[in-house]
Amino acid sequence: MFKYKLMLAVIFIAIIVGNAHADVRVNFTSMHVNNCDEGGTCDWKLACSLGNQQAVEFITNSEANTNEFIEINRVLTQKEFPPVTVSCSAWEHDGGIGAEWETVGSRSLVVNTTGPHLIKLSSSEGEVTVNFVVEAIGSTGQPLTENNCSYGPDTCVQGFVWREAGPNDYVCVTPQVRDQTRADNAQANARRSPNGGLYGPDTCLSGYVWREAFPGDHVCVTPETRTQAAEDNTHASARDACK
């Protein structure tokens, strides 16, 4: 009888552990404007939600043009994870008297893993990408796992890697951004004016600007890449796993 009860207890514990769910915290970091079809600057509105929760308006009326970011830095939480269904809707305003908000798109994404994710919304009114990071948390609201310092104090959260724009650049970025950074570094000399210019010996050729990923970073890149570097710097702390 004792063995039978012990076996039932083990099975019961296994069922509980096997079906355990954590809570989830979703940090909406930014919205990138991929395309603004207006002749001038577009006005944007964005609302997102988790599961069956009521949508929260993150962006009420913010101006941004093509290849510009709008900071969000808002957090939503949900009981039980995985999964979590993230839903977002975006609108664009043409401006002018009598103009109305036009729907850019609405989309829901079922997420089963932690780390960075995105939702892309597009229509004839424009296109935007909503960036967010999913983190499993315990009942106390703290991260479910301990701090990860495997690679020192600048260890990145899962899904990110060091940018390596310079020898001491440990800002965490996506692998795609690091690949672009390496390509830009390789083209540094070719994009620099051979005779210098208004900004000294590091003056860039027409169409390029200094990346400025860190002070003194004069690698010449496209304006879009410099915007990306500034965006990644803004989120450096949130992407650090050892904190």
Tell me the DSSP string of 12-56. HHHHHHHT--EEEEEEEEEEEEEEE-SSSPEEEEEEEEETTSPPE
Which residue, among 105, 113, 47, has the nearest Cα to 76 in the 3D structure?
Answer: 47
Mean pLDDT per segment of 10 residues, for the chain of length 243 residues? 49 42 83 82 93 94 89 87 93 77 94 88 92 76 61 84 93 91 95 93 96 96 94 86 78
The DSSP call for residue 95 is: -
Residue 29 has a pLDDT of: 86
How far apart CA 172 and CA 155 sit, in angstroms, is 8
Helix 175-186 with 223-234: angle, nearest 10 deg: 130
DSSP state of 157: P
Could you give the domains of the chain? 22-145 (2.60.40.150), 162-239 (no CATH)
pLDDT at 11: 43
Q: What is the pLDDT of residue 41?
A: 77
Copy the structure tokens of residue 164. 């390596």
pLDDT of residue 6: 47
Q: Cα–Cα distances in Å, from 131 out to 53, 60, 71, 128? A: 19, 17, 10, 10
